[in-house]
Structure 1
Amino acid sequence: MAIEVSYQHIDGAYLYGTEVYVSRAMREKIADGTVRREDLFYTGKLWATFHAPDLVRLALEKSLKSLQLEYMDLFIIHSPEQLKPGDDIFPVDENGQYIFHQTDLRDTWEALEKCKDAGLVKSIGVSNFNRRQIEYILNKPGLKYKPVCNQVECHIYLNQRKLLDFCKSQGIVFVGYSVLGSSWTKHWVDQNSPALLEDPVLADIAKKHNKTPAQVAIRYVLQLGVVVVAKSFNPERMKENLQVFDFTLPSQDMKALEALNRNYRYLPFTR
């Protein structure tokens, strides 16, 4: 449905377990002439159990096989945290604690560079990295390609100003997810988290512009210079989330929304 309503950026990941289904949908829409492969931009992610250099290409090739793609447009390190390599996505010990692993991120990055040189991916980047971790990559001896992007949680309650400014200074595209807040499962998000789209300031601004709170929340992040990743299963909301380019928030509205920042993270494992 997303492709039918004109979405072209598909943000995926091995962790999501949806690659086979995404492949089926993409192939159907390419076959019926709705879209061409070159019109689609697919982002994949290297999961935390595949950071060891000898596993990076294997992980990418595994995803490409599931997706039935010859290449990805973008492949990013899902998180700087690393978990024990193996078949378990979330390996835990006898006490139920995650089993972490240590690989030098610079070695992981070098393996990604080799995947790009091999033509398996057009661009490479990172996700959930803080400034220190990005600088660690940028200062890597013999760096061939710097990260093209950093994908992180970003919304009116967490506008990531400092990290955004740093990435801009380095020519790194800032990609924001959970821009409408998050209502993920209890395993990930405290169900008592503030309902972002019910914020009264956001609601007042939306009413003034004859827009929905979601549209204003997206527009705010866009005007910060952030590439937005918005998630929805509802076709009408998918369409609604695209209708954010026909208005601009004036400075007073931007300042009012800026004041809502409380450095609140819906996803506690993000940086």
Structure 2
Amino acid sequence: MGGVAIPTLSLSGCETPMPVIGMGTMSYPPVDIETAKAAILEAMRAGYRHFDTAFAYGSEKPLGEAIAEALRIGLIQSRDELFITTKLWSSFADPAQIVPACRMSLQNLQLEYVDMYLIHQPVRLTEMISRTPVAAEIIRALDVKGVWEGMEECKNLGLTKGIGVSNFSCKKMEEVLSIAKIPPAVNQVEMNPLWQQKQLREFCKARGVHVTAYSPLGANNTKWGDNRIVESDVLADIAKAKGKTTAQVALRWAYEQGVSIVTKSFNKQRMRENLQIFDWALSTDDLEKIDQLLQRKGVTLASILGPHDLVLELDAEV
């Protein structure tokens, strides 16, 4: 196909190997189904086989249509060539709603199973929301045991090959691990050269939980992200010396930390550039410079749900 071959890695308790780079499908502002579908097909042509979606993104349907189209035109031979991740939205983070929510996502995706099902946030919302921030009274602490049992049920039913979490601190991970019969395979968190997550990565590594980095380029052009990575002088200097783009340096850095990456671009050229990170490496000197960058978290729950007590408490957890 002329696309790049992307390395894969094995995850605990998940039989499908996961490609180390996935394409994110969260668009802000949201795009129409046709635009999203065309971008996903373009990504498949470039070599992407791992796609990251979520009920909350509204991108499950276009992804499902793109997969059906890719099979129809022979871009892929079988659904098994793909690794699809979706997420349990906080409005369904109630023990009784988890299996139905997973089935609803599968219906949107026109799939019999996903490869990874993640708890989207460590919080429960008691009603459906159409905008954020939300009212304090609909935010509840997550029933970690009840919700995780629901996730395990999804796996036992064969609705997903693997289960995991997203935006979980070490403290929240500890809670899940203490009750899990099937430990989470993945914790998908914000991670990039300016928010390196060293403590969380070490914690997860010691417990066999794989870390996936989202916003590896700082979520530029979104309401919660900014351009501090793509405009970082340190990264730009390294990129210039290497004949690479700043984005490629940031992605290569993440890859060298042993994490997988979900990167979103609907731009054909950047989509391909984001995959050109496997045939070169950063030097010890480069890594030391990146190590010294000032650290700042970009995505907080408070910036999405509002600065409510429980939310601020979760944001403060390490």
| Same fold flag (TM > 0.5) | yes
Calculate the TM-score normalised by the size of structure 2: 0.78
1:34 maps to a residue whose letter is L
Cα displacement string for residues 30-86 of structure 1 (whole angstroms, at most 9, x for unaligned residues): 1111112101000000000111110001100011111110001000000102111x3
Structure 1 counterpart of 2:245: 212
Cα deviation code 1:235-259 (max 9, x no counterpart): 1101000000010111111110111
Q: Give the alignment partner of residue 66 of structure 2, picking from 6, 12, 25.
A: 25
- TM-score normalised to structure 1 length: 0.92
2:49 is the counterpart of 1:8: yes
Count residues with an aligned counterpart.
Answer: 261
Give the residue type in structure 2 aligned to 1:135: E
The verdict on how the C-alpha distance between 1:226 and 1:91 changes in structure 2, with shifts beyond 3 A counting, is closer
Structure 1 residues 17 and 251 mapped into 2: Cα distance closer, same or farther (>3 Å)? same
Between 193-202 and 23-32, the greater mean CA deviation after superposition: 193-202
CA distance in 1, matches of 2:167, 2:130: 18
Unaligned runs of 5+ in 2: 1-41, 303-314
Say whether the 8 Å CA contact 1:91–1:98 is kept in structure 2.
Answer: no
Q: Which residues of structure 1 form unaligned runs of 5+? A: none
Cα 1:103/1:159, change in 2 over 3 Å: closer
Q: Which has the higher contact order (CA 8 A, sep 6+)?
A: 2
Larger % of strand: which? Answer: 2
How many angstroms apart in 1 are the aligned matches of 2:277 and 2:104? 36
Which residue does 1:106 correspond to in 2?
145
Structure 2 counterpart of 1:268, one-letter code: T
* Alignment RMSD (CA, Å): 1.7
Query: 2:84 corresponds to which residue?
Result: 42
Percent identical residues: 39
Structure 1 residue 195, shift from structure 2 partner: 2.4
Give the aligned partner of residue 62 of structure 1: 104
Which of 301, 306, 318 is the matching residue for 1:269?
A: 301
Paired position in structure 1 for 2:256: 223
Contact in 2 for aligned 1:77/1:125 (Cα 8 Å): yes
Supply the distance in 2 between the matched residues of 1:136 and 1:259 (Cα, whole angstroms).
32
